[in-house]
Amino acid sequence: MGKLTAPAIAAHKTRDGKEPLVMVTAYDAPGARMASEAGADLILVGDSLAMVVLGYDDTLQVTTDDMCHHTAAVARAKPDCHIVGDMPWMSYHVSPQETVENAAKLMRAGAHSVKLEGGRKRLPMIEQIIDAEIPVMGHIGLTPQSIHAMGGFKVQGKQAEHARKLVQAAKSLAHAGCFAVVLEGVPVRVAEMVTEAVDIPTIGIGAGSHCDGQVLVYHDLLGIEDRFVPKFVRRYADIKGQSVEAIKAYAADVRSGSFPNHDESYHMADEEAEELHLYGAG
Ligand code: KIV
């Protein structure tokens, strides 16, 4: 499909007969190259970085500098994908000026757009970013930056009243000019209602099959992260298992002396070796 721009993504609805958008997270150059070669439409440099790469227990620990560092690594791979830089917690909560400056840092690091979490409450900041010509992707439902306020990683919108609020939130994000919205951890019926209600694409994660696209975390879909597998994850590989086996085989070869072998070593000409031997190494 080629690299999609934010306006092209904004017009991408499956109800118009388009294929669902494919988004995957990546945090470094090799991951970006793999996503690109696999034909992903969008790469999200997600703040899930905190949990799947940096070893934190939640996403609240990463900063704009961390996100820029990893966005730049992804961008250097020049993937044939639209790169979305995730705005971390507290990078868009304090003031409009700081918000726009933080979004600009992600763009200068190589993102083509930014994503931030939250509904109506975030509209003033979203409007400021869009006003600075930076495309914004919304993110509603289970928003991991709000885990303490939500009381944990819990499916959102299970009650009719809350579901209606999510539909309203999506509409207001679309009205403010967001080019797409991530729906995370919501019942299928709610995702379907939101997708019908807005003209921008919905990209689901734990939101069923009615969205205009799907996103999964790289480490989940490849089986690199195996400590907790959420219900909505489909694992397409067991990279952790294969890697552990490969490192075990390497360790066994080192310990038995079979690695490195003759072909895996550098050699000098026989006469040089002889001279070295005659005069001693010193
Ligand atoms: O940070 C992330 O990976 C995300 C996705 C789960 C949508 O925000």
Whether residues 100 and 125 share a domain: the answer is: yes
Looking at the fold, whether 57 and 197 belong to one and the same domain comes out as yes
Residue identifier of the C-alpha nearest atom 1 of ligand 1: 46
Say whether pLDDT at 227 is over 60: yes
Contact 166 CB / ligand 1 (< 6 Å): no
The per-residue pLDDT for 277 is 85
Q: Is residue 1 part of a domain?
A: no
pLDDT on residue 281: 57
Give the atom of ligand 1 at the shortest distance from the alpha carbon of 184.
7
Domain assignment of residue 73, given as a range:
6-237
Note if the pTM is more than 0.85.
Answer: yes
- Ligand 1 contact via 41 beta carbon (within 6 Å): no
Q: What is the CATH number of the domain that holds 215?
A: 3.20.20.60
How many of the other CB atoms lie within 10 Å of CB of 100?
18
Half-sphere exposure of 138 (CA within 13 A, CB side): 34
- 152 in a structural domain: yes
Q: Tell whether 156 and 52 lie within a shared domain.
A: yes
pLDDT at 230 over 60: yes
Does the pLDDT of residue 240 top 80, yes or no? yes
If you average pLDDT over every residue of the chain, what do you get?
96
220 lines ligand 1 (CB under 6 A): no
Residues 196 and 232 in one domain: yes
Residue 229 and residue 249 share a domain: no
pLDDT at 2: 60
Rounded Cα distance between 247 and 249, Å, is: 5
Q: Is the pLDDT of residue 282 over 60?
A: no
pLDDT per residue as tens digits for the range 52-85: 999 999 999 999 999 999 999 999 999 999 999 9
Q: Is 43 in the pocket of ligand 1 (CB under 6 A)?
A: no
Domain tally for the chain? 2
Give 16-64 pLDDT, tens digit per residue. Answer: 999 999 999 999 999 999 999 999 999 999 999 999 999 999 999 999 9
pLDDT value of residue 226: 87
pLDDT at res. 279? 72
Pick the atom of ligand 1 nearest to 46's CA. Answer: 1
Instruction: Say if residue 100's pLDDT is above 80.
Output: yes
Q: How far is the CA of 54 from the centre of ligand 1 (A)?
A: 15
Q: Could you say which of 184, 196, 245, 272 is catalytic?
A: 184
Kindly state whether residues 126 and 264 are assigned to the same domain. no
From the CA of 144, give the closest atom in ligand 1: 8
Q: How far is the CA of 48 from the centre of ligand 1 (A)?
A: 6
Both tokens of 260, joined, read: 């490195």
Residues 6+ apart with CB under 8 A from 272: none
- Rounded to whole angstroms, the Cα distance separating 28 from 30 reads 6
Please check whether residues 200 and 248 belong to one and the same domain.
Answer: no
Q: Is residue 144 part of a domain?
A: yes
pLDDT over 90 for what percent of the chain? 95
Residue 214, ligand 1, Cβ within 6 A: no
Buried b (16+ CB within 10 A) or exposed e, 11-23: ebbbeeeeebbbb
Mean pLDDT calculated for residue range 183-204: 98
Are the CB atoms for 45 and 25 separated by under 8 Å? yes
How far, CA to CA in Å, does 25 sit from each of 83, 119, 202? 9, 22, 16
How far is the centre of ligand 1, averaged over its atoms, from the C-alpha of 46 (Å)?
A: 5
The reply to whether 34 and 135 lie within a common domain is: yes
Considering the domain architecture, whether residues 247 and 219 belong to the same structural domain is answered as no
Residue nearest to atom 4 of ligand 1 (CA): 46
The residue nearest atom 8 of ligand 1, judged by CA position, is 46
36 phi and psi angles, rounded to 5 deg:
-70, -45
| Residue 97 sits in the same domain as residue 209 | yes
> Whose C-alpha lies nearest to ligand 1, atom 2?
46
Distance (Å) from CA 157 to ligand 1 centroid = 18
Q: Is residue 184 annotated as part of the catalytic site, yes or no? A: yes
- Residue percentage of the chain with pLDDT more than 70: 98
Which whole number is the average pLDDT over 182-192?
Answer: 98
Q: What is the pLDDT of residue 278?
A: 80
Residue 85 within any structural domain of the chain: yes
Identify whether residues 270 and 140 lie together within a single domain: no
- Say if ligand 1 is within 6 A of residue 48 CB: yes
DSSP H or E run through 188: helix 188-197
pLDDT at 126 over 60: yes
Within a domain: 250: yes
Q: What is the mean pLDDT of residues 115-141?
A: 97
Judge if 106 and 156 occupy the same domain.
Answer: yes
Residue 53 Cα to ligand 1 middle (Å): 13
Cβ 53 under 6 angstroms from ligand 1: no
Whether 277 is covered by a domain: the verdict is: yes
Coil, helix or strand at residue 262: helix
Query: Average of pLDDT values for 168-194?
Result: 98
